[in-house]
Amino acid sequence: MSAMAYHRPSSLAEAAKLAAGDPDARILAGGQSILPSMKLGLLAPSAFIDLAALGELRGIRADRKSVTVGAMTTHAAVAASPEVMAAIPSLAKLAAGIGDPQVRNRGTIGGSLANSDPAADYPAAVLALNATIRTNRRALPADGFFKGLFETALAPGEIITAVEFPVPNTASYVKFPQPASRFALVGVFVAQTSTGVRVAVTGAGPCAFRVKVLEDALARRYAPQACEGISLPSGDLNTDIHASAEYRAHLIPVLAQRALA
Amino acid sequence: MAVPIELTVNGKTVAAEVEADTLLSSFLREHLRLTGTHIGCDTSSCGACTVHVGGRAVKSCNVLVAQLHGSEVTTIEGITPRDGSLHPMQAAFKACHGLQCGFCTAGMVMSAIDLLRHHPHTTDEEIRAGLEGNLCRCTGYQNIVKAVAMAAKAMGRQRP
């Protein structure tokens, strides 16, 4: 590992150039997922491209229509932000429940989304709130961003700069945490947005996904009772030592119901 | 690749050249010989290695020193007053017997100080939530929660 290189670019353009020049390099944000992955032998990057010096990627801007969170903004900063608490309280609550205090003090929204951990919390918010992921090249819609297990629509070397969340009419997130890691065994984010009701699930499949049958039911009646009697197929869902696919499938409408209660 | 870094540790400027993948925990213990910071799980789970970076609790086994160029780091050695007395949090852990083997204690103390700085008026429930990132295998946590509650009163009195 000591053959690794480390770069601390002072501009986004320099970071992009470094990334383009070395396909085996990894962008480093807070490092809360990448460093444990390296210790487990799952990753062995040739170099880190640390975004720590790019102050323009940190911070939160909010107006009546949207909340924009810089990619290098920590979970703790989102959780404590009066702007986020006022505009989208469910997003502040989600950030306050990620990992533990130490992880929230280092981990970033950009890092979480680029990593696309199947049990991460932020992907559920991004999908349910129909957020836009801004990069150094383009603006990516939430739908289609999460492609699979640790896989996103980002091109090699593409860098997330900010995430723009439209302010919903109302929204709520409930997660059933795996008690040791506090990752979502299943997490369900329900939102009433300008483009309709959106229900996004994390922790249950290879990546975050929407659930049309729940969205349709809640579009007819936005109330907990609308989730009653809905059962979902477990075929593509995760099974591990913590829960079976059937259990996860069962939790989805249950948590959607709790989110609305 | 040797990376030149400069940061402040317990109030002193430290300049060094480190390998790109050097963790803060090993830098503190092996380079600076600040062995009060313990490495427990080395997987970012147990919190024994917790120190402050810019005043906030972080797990030093899960941060590269290179990431902290220009940062202020405080370890358990850096919280005691110059006269050698105990920080109110350490005194409360001693008074309440908030430890048994003591391995997790430095990390517990650092997390608890960050918690009280940002939430001076905590309930027992908030103390438990605030220490979610720190594991103790001996105490059952009861006396740790008591210690933090006692320190909250003492630290509240200290504030002007």
Domain ranges of chain A: 5-260
**Angle B94-B95-B101 from CA coordinates, rounded to 5°:** 35
Please name the residues between 34 and 73 in chain B that touch chain A, using a CB distance below 8 Å: 42-45, 47, 50, 53, 56-59, 62-64, 66-67, 69
Would the CB atoms of B133 and A1 count as touching at under 8 Å?
A: no
Taking CA–CA distances from A100, the nearest residue in chain B reads B133
Percentage of the residues of chain A whose pLDDT score is greater than 90: 97
Instruction: Dump pLDDT digits (tens) for A171-188.
Output: 999 999 998 888 999 999
Give the integer Cα–Cα distance in Å for B46 and A124: 27
Contact A197, A129 (CB under 8 A): no
Would the CB atoms of A103 and B67 count as touching at under 8 Å?
A: no
> Which whole number is the average pLDDT over B126-145?
96
Domain ranges of chain B: 2-78, 88-158
Q: Give CA separation, A58 vs A53, A75, A106, in Å.
A: 10, 11, 12
Which residues from A are below 8 Å from B46, CB to CB? none
> Which whole number is the average pLDDT over A116-138?
98
Q: What is the pLDDT of residue A1?
A: 46
Which residues from B are below 8 Å from A76, CB to CB? 56
**Exposure of A5 by Cβ count < 10 A (0-12 exposed, 13-18 middle, 19+ buried)?**
middle
The residue length of chain A stands at: 261
CATH architecture of structural domain B2-78: Roll (3.10)
Confidence of residue B160 (pLDDT cuts 50, 70, 90): very low
Reply yes or no on whether the pLDDT at A230 is more than 90: yes
Would the CB atoms of B69 and A52 count as touching at under 8 Å?
A: yes
End-to-end CA distance of chain B: 48
Contact A199, A215 (CB under 8 A): yes
Domain A5-260: state its class. alpha beta
Please name the residues between 92 and 111 in chain B that touch chain A, using a CB distance below 8 Å: 111
Give the list of residues 6+ apart from residue B100 with CB closer than 8 angstroms, or none. B138, B139
Contact B105, B60 (CB under 8 A): no
Taking CA–CA distances from A36, the nearest residue in chain B reads B43
Pairing of strands A66-70, A132-135: unpaired
Q: Would you call B4 helix, strand, or coil by DSSP?
A: strand
How many other CB atoms are found less than 10 A from the CB of residue B107? Answer: 30
Instruction: Dump pLDDT digits (tens) for B61-95.
Output: 999 999 999 999 999 999 999 898 999 999 999 99
ipTM (interface predicted TM) = 0.96
Q: What is the pLDDT of residue B159?
A: 54
Task: Determine the residue type at B110.
Answer: M
The closest CB to that of A32, out of B20, B21, B44, belongs to: B44
The closest CB to that of B132, out of A3, A80, A100, belongs to: A100
Cβ-count burial A37-73 (b if 16+ within 10 Å, e if not): bbbeeeeebebbbbbbebeebbebebeeebbbbbbbb
If you compute the radius of gyration of chain A from its CA atoms, what whole number of angstroms results? Answer: 18
Contact B88, B151 (CB under 8 A): yes
Reply yes or no on whether the pLDDT at B146 is more than 80: yes
Q: What is the pLDDT of residue A127?
A: 98
Domain B88-158: state its class. mainly alpha
Would the CB atoms of A4 and B63 count as touching at under 8 Å?
A: no
Provide the Cα torsion A98, A100, A102, A108; round to 10°.
-10
Q: What is the pLDDT of residue B121?
A: 86
Which DSSP string do the residues of B101-132 spell out, in sequence order?
A: S-TTHHHHHHHHHHHHHH-SS--HHHHHHHTT
The closest CB to that of A35, out of B57, B62, B115, belongs to: B62
The closest CB to that of B44, out of A36, A101, A105, belongs to: A36
